[in-house]
Amino acid sequence: MAAASTPKISWEQISPAPVVLVFGKESFLADRAIQRLRGLLLLEDPELEVNDLDAGQYSDGALELLASPSLFDEPRLIRVSNGVKATDAFIEDALRYIAAPVDGTTLVIRHDGSTVRGKKLLDAVRRTPGALEVVCQPLGRGDMIPFARNELRLLERDATPGAIAALVDAFASDIAELASAIRQVALDTEGQITEQTVRTYYAGRVETTAFAVVDAVIAGDVARALVTLRQAVATGADPVPMVAAFAMRFRQLAKVSGAQGGDGQAARSLGMQEWQLRNARRDLRGYTDASLCDAIEAIAVADAAVKGAERSAGHAVERLVRQLAARTAA
């Protein structure tokens, strides 16, 4: 009869267990999970003893020494980092330990999954009765909205759907930044958080403003593009990353323009998410191959201009916006 597999849970579902595997490449969620576990154990017993081990620097016997019951029998939390570089000594000691965990001790092992180092140990943990596996993989864009909503709920703040979408649009490239931005706006404002609250509060964020300008340009909305651009300039946005945002988006359009096959197949071949590819294909409807080449050439000229080829970087960006938005609208 096959052994039951260890339950796989998300970071916010973590709970005390004799052995916990925190697995995946999203270090922010992994840190959150381990912090939450420590907090739950402290609630059970404030005398919790916490010890840290680096699996990549491990020497024989250290795990057994830390897990051994003390004179006063305090509960213990042993946090093991760097499981992806675990020494042979750690793997062997951990295999022996999980076969007979010590009562009152919680062993949490962090492994990012970037290599198969320690696979024998991972497989053993996943077969251990009573163990838990916390999955901490990078969130897709579709997961960011629920994440942001949950962050606001934890902070006991109410936000409109537009505000949540604006936060995700601004900080979706980095979940740690997204969480920090949510916390900051929640602490520094009162009342319901609206889209305008977010737009006003983070108006100086270059990446957000830049991509808002790019979106307006691709939509052919010259007026909105220019208004957004001037707001960005007024709040101190740097022209160089503004042009870089155009370059990044139009390079993506160029890649997608030659992609064959359905959305899923094409996205995999280009290393993109399906939603990114679908959006790019939608945006390409306003371009021919010739107009896309012209746009890329205009961006190259603007890039040189904002890096010193022309006296006024701000004028160069505005000229680019007018050129691209007018071409799209035509």
In terms of Cα–Cα distance, which of 2, 6, 125 is closest to 55?
125
CA distances 227 to 221, 242, 255, Å, are 10, 14, 29
Which amino acid is located at 315 in the chain? H
Pair of tokens at residue 313: 């970087």
Provide the CA 227 distance to its chain's centre, in angstroms.
30
In terms of Cα–Cα distance, which of 15, 16, 14, 34 is closest to 110?
34
Helix axes 206-218, 222-234, angle to 10 degrees: 170
How much is the pLDDT for 22? 97
Confidence tier at 3 by pLDDT (50, 70, 90): low
Domains of the chain: 8-135 (3.40.50.300), 141-201 (1.10.8), 206-329 (1.20.272.10)
Which amino acid is located at 314 in the chain? G
Pair of tokens at residue 13: 């579902």
Confidence tier at 71 by pLDDT (50, 70, 90): low
Each residue's pLDDT tens digit, 162-192: 788 778 877 777 888 889 889 888 888 888 9
Cα–Cα distance between 279 and 236 in angstroms, integer?
Answer: 29
**Which conformational region is residue 156 in: left (phi greater than 0), alpha (psi within -120 to 50 degrees), or beta?**
left
Instruction: Give percent above pLDDT 90 in the chain.
Output: 43
Helical spans, DSSP H, in 189-259? 195-201, 206-218, 222-234, 239-257
In terms of Cα–Cα distance, which of 324, 173, 310, 301 is closest to 250?
324
- Residue 179 CB partners (closer than 8 Å, separation 6+): 28, 151
Give the CA dihedral 146, 262, 211, 159, nearest 10 degrees.
-20
Each residue's pLDDT tens digit, 124-150: 999 999 999 999 998 876 788 899 999
Task: Give the residue with greater pLDDT, 307 vs 23.
Answer: 23
How much is the pLDDT for 1? 37
Specify the long-range contacts of residues 12-18, CB closer than 8 Å, at least 24 apart. Answer: 12/36, 12/150, 13/134, 14/40, 14/132, 14/134, 15/40, 15/132, 16/40, 16/41, 16/44, 16/106, 17/106, 17/130, 17/131, 17/132, 18/101, 18/105, 18/106, 18/107, 18/128, 18/130, 18/131
Instruction: Give percent above pLDDT 70 in the chain.
Output: 92
Judge if pTM exceeds 0.95.
no
Each residue's pLDDT tens digit, 282-326: 888 878 888 889 999 999 999 899 888 888 888 898 999 988 877
Helix (H, G, I), strand (E, B) or coil at 204: coil
Mean pLDDT of the region 71-84: 89
- Burial class from Cβ neighbours inside 10 Å (0-12, 13-18, 19+) for residue 281 reads middle
